[in-house]
Chain A
Amino acid sequence: QTESPFGGFKHDSSAPIEITSDSLEVQQANNLAIFAGSVIAGQGTLRLTADRVAVSYTQDKADSETGAIQNMRADGNVFLSNGAETAQGNWAEYDVASGMVRMGGSVVLTQGGNAISGESLVIDLNVGTGKIEGQGSGRVKSVFTPSKN
């Protein structure tokens, strides 16, 4: 387990959020909204791109308006970055209540010139730390580029 300072991932959550995609399907019956086709979501310096992002939300019982998001699941070419650090993998899941982002499927985390790869990555948005876990077969490979100076 390699814990790396992920300070950068604490993002400015009051900044506007913009999401673009080819399509958006909302299934009120399943409390589900699916952005599909080159999905790009950005907030401040935080940027997520993926082939598909599904958002599940709670529906206020009081009326048919929708309540809070419960979690977001991104699938296919998932790329998360905050300008300085990037994390990519085949899928990512963000659980809002716990503030945890999980990524899986040949994950590569880059910070500055350094890249660490592993099986899965867990980012704790509360404190902004990321842990690469290489359990199972994959060894945690880290590719460090010798610094120039």
Chain B
Amino acid sequence: MAEGAPPPRDERRAARALDRRQRSVRRHSVIVRWMKVLLPLAALVLVGLIFLQGRDRGSVQDLFTAEELARLGAGLRLEQPRFAGVTEGGDPYVVTADWALPDKAMPEEIELENPKGELNLRDGRQVTATALTGMMRRTARTLTLTGDVLILSSEGHRIEADELLIDFGNRRASTPGPVHGTGPEGSIDAGRFHAEAGEGGLSQAHIWFENRVRVLFIPSQDG
């Protein structure tokens, strides 16, 4: 397809300069995005924190309905407990388990078998957290998830740990041991993790990965 006369020399030089600038902009945009893998993974774990954050003012009482509390209060095991709520941020969540077993009447501790939490964020993202067992401590207001703790997000993020301690009152979450996170953009591994949501919630979060950290970022091709 004849383009007519070839563009004069300075036009070609301008085109080359433009191309070089575009390439450098693209190159920077890739580097610019490398952080993307790291913080959504950290943010994801905190999202797990948020969905429990809604509980910090509440207590175990409002985790269960009156009838369930009566059964728990009597020290009876609760089959298929299902409790739903809304986080402080206004995002609905549901927590279910195979069963919930109080340690005694007016329980201090409630053991959960195969606890599963689902959080639906208003922006459409969904986060689920599962573990083999959970232990809820009333006065300490903590929930310890133990055994194959797995947090998944609808965006393809996956966080695994052996144990996750969530401290409702102080809005903190921590893993005593290793944590492994992967996402579409890469992965993060650390020997230990803890995070504080801070007053302003997630945007104020303070997160530590310790005991050797490895972050791998795979730049996507669109750069």
Given the complex of chains A and B, what is the CA–CA distance between A102 and B161 in angstroms? 39
Contact with B along A124-148 (1 / 0, CB 8 A): 0110000000000000000000000
Selected interface stretch from B92-100, B139-147, B205-213: B205-213
Interface flags, A22-40, vs B, CB<8A=1, else 0: 1111111100010100000
Complex alpha-carbon distance, A146 and B130, angstroms:
66
Q: Are A69 and B31 in contact (CB under 8 A)?
A: yes
Q: Decide if B35 touches A57 in the complex (CB within 8 Å).
A: yes
B204 at the interface (CB under 8 A from A): yes
Annotate B181-219 by CB proximity to A: 1 below 8 A, 0 otherwise: 000001000100000001011111111111111111111
**Cβ of B35 and Cβ of A24 under 8 Å apart?**
no
- Given known pairs A13-B30, A66-B39, A99-B28, the reply for A28 and B207 (CB within 8 Å) is yes
B27 touches A (CB below 8 Å): yes
B residues 1-28 near A (Cβ < 8 Å) are: 20, 24, 27-28
Contacts of A14 in B (CB 8 A): 30, 219, 221, 223
CB distance from B205 to the nearest CB of A (A): 4
Is B40 located at the chain interface by the 8 A CB criterion?
yes
Contact assessment for A13 and B42 in the assembled complex, using a CB-CB cutoff below 8 Å: no
User: Which chain B residues border A96 with CB–CB below 8 Å?
Assistant: 28, 31-32
Contact B198 A69 (CB under 8 A): no
Chain B 25-61 against A: per-residue CB contact (8 Å), 1 yes, 0 no? 0011111111110111011000000000000000000
Q: Do the beta carbons of B216 and A18 come within 8 Å of each other? A: yes
Q: In the complex, what residues of A have CB within 8 A of residue B39's CB?
A: 26, 28, 33, 57, 65-66
Which of B29, B43, B204, B219 is in CB contact (< 8 Å) with A29?
B204
Q: Is the CB of B213 within 8 A of A21?
A: yes
A65-B43 CB under 8 A given contacts A23-B210, A96-B32: yes
A65–B206 Cα distance when bound, in Å, is 14
Query: How far, in angstroms, from A25 to B35 measured CA to CA in the complex?
Result: 13
Q: Is the interface of A mostly helix, strand, loop or mixed?
A: strand
B209 contact set on A, CB distance < 8 A: 23-26
B210 and A26 contact, CB distance less than 8 A: no
* A113 adjacent to chain B (CB < 8 Å): no
Q: Is the CB of B214 within 8 A of A69?
A: no
Give the number of chain A interface residues (Cβ < 8 Å).
33
The winner among A13, A22, A59 for most chain B CB atoms within 10 A is A13
Q: Give the residue of A28, A69, A97 whose beta carbon is less than 8 angstroms from that of B205.
A: A28
- Asked whether B34 lies within 8 Å of A22 as measured between CB atoms, the reply is no
Contact assessment for A17 and B217 in the assembled complex, using a CB-CB cutoff below 8 Å: yes
Q: At the interface, yes or no: A20 with Cβ under 8 Å from chain B?
A: yes
Q: Interface readout for B91-111 with A: 1 if CB under 8 Å, 0 if not?
A: 000000000000000000000
How far does the alpha carbon of A22 sit from the alpha carbon of B211 in the complex, in Å? 6
How many Å from the CB of A71 to the closest CB on chain B? 11
**Shortest Cβ distance from B89 into chain A, in angstroms?**
10
Chain B residues whose C-beta falls within 8 Å of the C-beta of A24 in the assembled complex: 38, 190, 208-210, 213, 215
Identify A27's interface contact among B30, B206, B213, CB under 8 A.
B206
- One digit per residue, 1 when the CB lies within 8 angstroms of any chain B CB and 0 when it does not, for chain A 87-104 equals 000000000110100000
B67 interfacial by beta-carbon distance below 8 Å = no
Q: Which 5 A-B pairs have the closest CB atoms?
A: A68-B32, A66-B39, A26-B207, A24-B209, A64-B202
Which residues of A approach B to under 8 Å, CB–CB? 13-29, 33, 35, 55, 57, 59, 63-66, 68-69, 96-97, 99, 125-126
